[in-house]
Amino acid sequence: AQSVTQLDSQVPVFEEAPVELRCNYSSSVSVYLFWYVQYPNQGLQLLLKYLSGSTLVESINGFEAEFNKSQTSFHLRKPSVHISDTAEYFCAVSVSGSARQLTFGSGTQLTVLP
């Protein structure tokens, strides 16, 4: 079975600083990888996804993530964060044969400080 580990439960960072949210997965078969974001008092929204092709994927609001197969990682980065990026971020994985279900990590709360 697949699993997802988000090592950091809380990441505080000052506005305009860079940030990296870490995600590692375990699976013996090919995976698809995702980052979802949950703003306060809202449901989750898809931020970006890796299905195939280029290992570097980007979102419309400046986040990027890189699929690293050898390190089984899919870390999320942003070079300069804004107050509005404060949210909880979930890494998720889907594997072949899983009926395209998502397995979520435990989440990382990103808090951007002024």
Partner 1 sequence: DADVTQTPRNRITKTGKRIMLECSQTKGHDRMYWYRQDPGLGLRLIYYSFDVKDINKGEISDGYSVSRQAQAKFSLSLESAIPNQTALYFCATSDIRDPYEQYFGPGTRLTVT
Which residues sit at the interface with partner 1, rule CB under 8 A?
4, 6, 9, 32, 34, 41-46, 49, 51, 90, 94, 99-102, 104-107
Residue 18's identity, in one-letter code, is: P
**Residue placing its CB nearer to partner 1 in the complex, 71 or 101:** 101
Q: How far is the CB of 15 from partner 1 (least distance, A)?
A: 26
Q: How far is the CB of 31 from partner 1 (least distance, A)?
A: 11
CB 46 within 8 A of CB 94: no
Q: How far is the CB of 114 from partner 1 (least distance, A)?
A: 26
**Residue placing its CB nearer to partner 1 in the complex, 15 or 49:** 49
Q: How far is the CB of 59 from partner 1 (least distance, A)?
A: 13
Contacts 24+ apart (CB under 8 A), 28-33: 29/95, 29/96, 29/97, 30/95, 30/96, 31/2, 31/93, 31/94, 31/95, 32/93, 32/94, 32/95, 33/65, 33/67, 33/74, 33/91, 33/92, 33/93
**Residue placing its CB nearer to partner 1 in the complex, 81 or 90:** 90
**Residue placing its CB nearer to partner 1 in the complex, 34 or 67:** 34
What distance in Å separates the CA atoms of residue 58 and residue 43, rounded to the nearest whole number? Answer: 21
